[in-house]
Amino acid sequence: MDFDALRDKVRARLPRAAGRSWYEIKNAEGDVATVRIYDEISWWGISADQFARDLAGITAPSIEVQINSPGGDVFDGLAIYNALRMHPARVTTRVDGMAASIASVIVQAGDHRVIVQSAQMMIHEAWGLCVGPAADMRAFADLLDQQNDVIAGIYASRSGGTVEDFRALMSSDLYLTDAQALEHGLVDEIFVPETQASATLQVQAGGTVDVETLVAALERLAKPAPAPAAAATEIPAATGGEPSPSTGAPPTTHADADAEAFLRALLAHTKETQQ
């Protein structure tokens, strides 16, 4: 049976096959190319031949691979892992939601491996189906053990752990939180996304102050005032009488006033919380 032909035939009949790609590559010739793997890695989803062909066309010096996948075919996953490892670009892999099974192996292809806060990973032993006599069943069991050693070896090489330790962890479906994945050495960093609200400081007594405006105002306030002129310039009084000297002090801007109001409100809030 020609399994490649059967796979292509099945894919063509899937409703979503004509509607969207199995994965997405953007900015292939820019500074940072983005590769999004948001599907199964197997017959029904992302195959190694498709992926490797498109990956080879990326000329960007950096690649970010965004992953949210339940896993899939071991051999396709290993081929994708190796294609990423051999690409000349610097590769960052990022777990956006779930990197399960062989998808967790693809994560290890990154020169830098990131998991977004609250995303997860799942590792386990390879499994499969076999039809045939006892000899075929025994041979298939040996093949599964071999794949488990290969996968555990990849985890160990990237984490600094041992194959034996990871084989023990893989003995059951092990779901790892972001912190646990970092603890086991399967990622290098937990990425905490910034929200739009974090760009503004909230103060009960003083409303809101944009961070950039505050920093700019504080920098101006921190600069020493210019030295007074040798002789004061006399400016006629608006209503007559004696002339009034000009000090040459710079005018106060709205940004400075905002910064001062913010600092006063922050100081008052701090005193309240300490009481």
- Mind listing the pLDDT tens digit for each residue in 187-232? 999 999 987 555 444 444 445 555 565 566 566 666 665 555 554 4
Let me know if 38 is exposed, middle or buried by CB neighbors in 10 A (0-12, 13-18, 19+).
middle
For residue 126, how far is the Cα from the chain centroid? 27
- Candidates 248, 213, 221, 222; CA nearest to 234 is 248
Q: What is the pLDDT of residue 50?
A: 81
Q: Which long-range contacts (CB under 8 A, 24 or more apart) does 22-27 make?
A: 22/46, 22/47, 22/50, 23/50, 23/51, 25/54, 25/55, 25/58, 27/60
Q: What residue spans define the domains of the chain?
A: 3-191, 196-226+247-274
Question: Would you call 21 a catalytic residue per the annotation?
Answer: no
pLDDT score, position 47: 76
Active-site residue identified among 47, 124, 159, 184: 124
Confidence (pTM): 0.66
pLDDT at position 266 is 61
Give me 157's structure tokens: 């090489």
- Residues of the chain under the 70 pLDDT cut: 1-24, 28, 43-45, 196-275
124 noted as active-site residue: yes
Catalytic residue among 42, 47, 69, 101: 101
Give residue 30's pLDDT: 78
Nearest CA to 171 among 138, 140, 127, 130? 127
The answer to whether domain 3-191 has CATH 3.20.20.70 is no
Rounded Cα gap, residues 28 and 56, in angstroms: 10
Q: Identify the pLDDT of residue 42.
A: 79
pLDDT at res. 146 = 96
